[in-house]
Amino acid sequence: MKFKVRDIVDSIDENDLYKMQADLSKGGLFLKKIVDDKLKSMQNEKKGFCSTCGQSLDEKYKTYTLLFGPEDFKKKASFCELDCLEYFLAGLKKINENIKHNDLKHGDNNGI
């Protein structure tokens, strides 16, 4: 279950709230660091595997990520190298061409 910031603040004890208040009044550097660290670790967790060759991307410093698909159903694919990204794109292109081709072939049946 995910909590909203308001829920989190409600569950923090008074002493820690005073500490947070003091930190925020000084620019919130401590809180910023906690949030930065958490976001960084979430991004690293999401790296996963190369969509083409299956290599783990966790250790890779530089990876490539592709967001594609309709607005309400975006898909994400990550790659270890440009070669893997190109190979994936070529496959995607082929699938799209087949879909178009099939639409044309069956177009007569549902013509308006």
Candidate ranges 29-37, 49-57, 86-94, 99-107; the one touching Zn ion (CB under 5 A): 49-57
d(CA 66, CA 89): 9
Which strand (E) or helix (H) includes residue 10? helix 5-11
Decide: is 50 part of the binding site for Zn ion (CB under 5 A): yes
Decide: is 22 part of the binding site for Zn ion (CB under 5 A): no
Decide: is 53 part of the binding site for Zn ion (CB under 5 A): yes
Q: Are strands 64-68 and 75-79 parallel, antiparallel or unpaired?
A: antiparallel
d(CA 96, CA 108): 20
Decide: is 57 part of the binding site for Zn ion (CB under 5 A): no
Binding residue for Zn ion, selected from 57, 77, 78, 84, defined by CB under 5 A: 84
Residue type, 47: K
Which strand (E) or helix (H) includes residue 78? strand 75-79
| Angle at the Cα of 81 from the Cα atoms of 76 and 82, rounded to 5 degrees | 85
Q: How far is the CB of 50 from Zn ion (least distance, A)?
A: 3
Decide: is 80 part of the binding site for Zn ion (CB under 5 A): yes
Candidate ranges 5-13, 42-50, 67-75, 94-102; the one touching Zn ion (CB under 5 A): 42-50
Give residues in contact with Zn ion (CB under 5 A).
Answer: 50, 52-53, 55, 80, 84
